[in-house]
Amino acid sequence: MTIAAGLFDEPASFLPLKSGDQVMLVTNETLAPLYLDHLRSVLENAGVKVDSVILPDGEQYKSLTVMDQVFTALLQKPHGRDTTLVALGGGVVGDLSGFAAASYQRGVRFIQVPTTLLSQVDSSVGGKTAVNHPLGKNMIGAFWQPASVVIDLNCLKTLPQRELSSGLAEVIKYGIILDGDFFDWLEQNIDALMALDEKAMAYCIRRCCELKAEVVAADERETGLRALLNLGQGEAGAAGMVMAAHASERLGQFNAQDTQRIIALLKRAGLPVTGPREMSAQAYLPHMMRDKKVLAGELRLVLPLAIGKSEVRGGVSHEVVLDAIADTQQEHE
């Protein structure tokens, strides 16, 4: 993994690519005008043969139908088993490209080039690739590790503020579930991260990737420990963290003062700390029962025990869950 500003100008950033290699660069309609021609030029000047496919932009396009566009482009050129897919984009492009790489001719090399903060600290690390199904998110996929991850901090300058905040929700999650010292650091440096301070952001991304790598190394295929990472993502994840803290409070295993620390940090990062006001607590349950943490029909929750320590817990009654959701909604009305 390489993290710095200006990496797109250096072909050496894209190891293990070398002169003579063939690449299919996968990106989307939003990012192509920003980076595609430049990246193609840098790689071609280094002797790499570059083809590209431009996908529509949006979570709704993370599907088998859209992934077929990648296979069609690979077959038309054609690309053999020695090709490399380069995923230039956020989580949708990265997940879809990774699954395509895992599937094409039973598996080819791919490189992650994440362009959003969320993808830089989450989906680009750990080898989980997938597309969505109308009945569930990330339900069709494979575990397929990238050959390398290239994180150019300059990409964050083109992010809308809401996208930056969404990524910071994932960052804060790492502090809550895995590293109390990192959470303390975030409390002291959240303003610098919001301002895209290069030194602070580089440390932040690296620390998140280190934490995730430790979990993945211990549980690559999510049979146990890795389920801790499923506390939530983005704006919905931010509200979910508050609900989880309230649930843990009700079970007598989390300090109310620490719940307030979580809420304060999320707010400073520009994130919501409550769910949709028009949504009743009861309305959450059908969605929660389709979550991938559900085993044998039993709801399992990622619950904080302290800042920096958490557990995956089954057997929590629906009553506790509903009360925690209500606590969250009522507290912030």
Residue 130 maps to which CATH number?
3.40.50.1970
Give the CA distances from residue 142 to residues 16, 95, 122, 228, in Å, rounded to whole numbers and listed in that order: 22, 10, 16, 19
Last residue within a domain, chosen from 158, 187, 219: 158
Q: Are residues 171 and 313 in the same domain?
A: yes
Average pLDDT, the chain: 90
- Contacting residues for 238 by C-beta, under 8 A, at least 6 apart: 169, 172, 232, 266, 269, 271, 272, 273
What CATH number did the domain enclosing 167 receive?
1.20.1090.10
Per-residue pLDDT, 85: 98
Last residue within a domain, chosen from 158, 188, 210: 158
Beta-bridged to residue 131, according to DSSP, are 140
Q: Are residues 321 and 233 in the same domain?
A: yes
Per-residue pLDDT, 299: 74
Last residue within a domain, chosen from 158, 184, 205: 158
Q: Are residues 201 and 314 in the same domain?
A: yes
Q: Are residues 145 and 165 in the same domain?
A: no
| More reliable by pLDDT, 261 or 239 | 261
Q: Does the pLDDT of residue 292 top 60, yes or no? A: no
Q: Are residues 172 and 257 in the same domain?
A: yes
Q: Does the pLDDT of residue 252 top 50, yes or no? A: yes
Q: Are residues 134 and 19 in the same domain?
A: yes
Per-residue pLDDT, 171: 96
Q: Does the pLDDT of residue 192 top 90, yes or no? A: yes
74-78, 280-284, 314-318: which has the highest mean pLDDT? 74-78
| More reliable by pLDDT, 298 or 87 | 87
Which H/E stretch holds residue 131?
Answer: strand 128-133
Per-residue pLDDT, 160: 93
Q: Does the pLDDT of residue 331 top 90, yes or no? A: no
Domain that residue 135 falls in: 2-158
Alpha carbon distance 291, 308 (integer Å):
24
* CB-based contact 219:213 (threshold 8 Å): no
Residue type, 243: M
Q: Are residues 68 and 149 in the same domain?
A: yes
Per-residue pLDDT, 180: 97
Per-residue pLDDT, 75: 98
| More reliable by pLDDT, 182 or 312 | 182
Per-residue pLDDT, 215: 84
- Over residues 201-219, the pLDDT tens digits come to 999 999 999 998 888 877 6
Which H/E stretch holds residue 72?
Answer: helix 64-76
Q: Are residues 191 and 282 in the same domain?
A: yes
Per-residue pLDDT, 67: 98
Q: Are residues 15 and 123 in the same domain?
A: yes
- Over residues 141-160, the pLDDT tens digits come to 999 999 999 999 999 999 99
Alpha carbon distance 121, 205 (integer Å):
6
- Over residues 99-140, the pLDDT tens digits come to 999 999 999 999 999 999 999 998 888 889 999 999 888 999
Q: Which of 73-77, 157-161, 316-320 has the lowest mean pLDDT?
A: 316-320
Per-position DSSP letters for 133-146, written without gaps between them: ETTEEEEEEEE---
Per-residue pLDDT, 326: 82
Beta-bridged to residue 202, according to DSSP, are none
Q: Are residues 138 and 186 in the same domain?
A: no
Q: What percent of the chain has pLDDT over 90?
A: 72
Helix segments in 146-305, DSSP class H: 161-177, 180-194, 198-218, 234-250, 256-268, 284-288
Per-residue pLDDT, 224: 59
Q: How many domains does the chain have?
A: 2
Per-residue pLDDT, 296: 44
Q: Are residues 19 and 120 in the same domain?
A: yes
Q: Does the pLDDT of residue 290 top 80, yes or no? A: no
Of 139, 113, 144, 110, the C-alpha closest to 126 is: 144
Q: Are residues 261 and 288 in the same domain?
A: yes
Q: Does the pLDDT of residue 80 top 60, yes or no? A: yes
